[in-house]
Amino acid sequence: MPLSYQWQQRIDRWKNAVSSLFGGSGENNQPRPKLCPACGSLVGISATRCHQCGANLRFSLAAANKGLSAIFGEEAPVTRALLIANIAMFGVGYMASLAMGQSGFSFTFSGNGEALYKLGASWMPAILYLHEWYRLVTASFLHFGLLHLGMNMMVLLDIGPQVEQEFGSSRYLFFYTITGISGFALSAVRGHFAAGASCALMGMIGLLLAMNSRRAGALAQAQKSRLISWITMTFMIGFFPGVRIDNWGHFGGLAAGYLLGRIVSDREPVTPREKQVAMVLGWLAGAIIVTSFVFMFIHYRDPIPGAG
């Protein structure tokens, strides 16, 4: 059966994106001048290295970043990738629950604890005594139910693109990963069994709060007031009886994000050096995430401590 025009266009776009990962033109095989993905300088047809910043044009972090942006969309590609990853892991968790002979996840915050544990939820005994440190990362991609997932993804789509635009995609992924780890580390110390994107999302809110605290003007102050109200409401809900919201994890992510926001410049990288550092941080965060999921799959069939 022949493919529709729309699918042919999609496949061509994906081929171009994959080609650009390795420094290809991404359009066709006709030789033509190129733009350096790191600094934007025009380079020759046969050049393999940028004369301006020295970036490798055949394969480099900048070229790979450009290719990934084409795959996930030019606007907020990391936010889109995180959204897809969270939804995909929810589906994996649901299938894991069914494979265990259980009913899977509900629409509330109840969830299947056994499936979440095996998929890498944060829990201090497993982290501290079994040295499963990957849980501090994988927990950010797991959720207790559709309501939990839906609420967090709404916040991600609201906050994520703004942070990504302000700080750049690479640094945004690094900040998201680090604040998520910080939140779950504090949560684990408090003995909580936890999962969800909210630790990292609170980190992004802390980042925006710090950014707007450094800026003057009515718009910055209005957003600062909005963020403070959001934070206050989140923590107040966490104190309601019977509500399973991890305020310790939220505080850890928020504090880490605010600290990062006070340290880093509140703009996208502009110089070649800044861009190179940002890309290294972004790829480091990506490597941490991928490695954590590899370890999760390795330990997936391990027995649950204390299970009879």
Catalytic residues: 198, 250
Residue pair 134/189 in contact (Cβ under 8 Å)? The answer is: no
Q: From the centroid of its chain, how far is CA 20?
A: 22
Distance, in Å, from the CA atom of 211 to the CA atom of 22, rounded to the nearest integer, reads 35
Nearest to 250, CA basis, from 155, 132, 133: 155
Beta-carbon count within 10 A of 118 CB: 19
Type of residue found at 192 = H
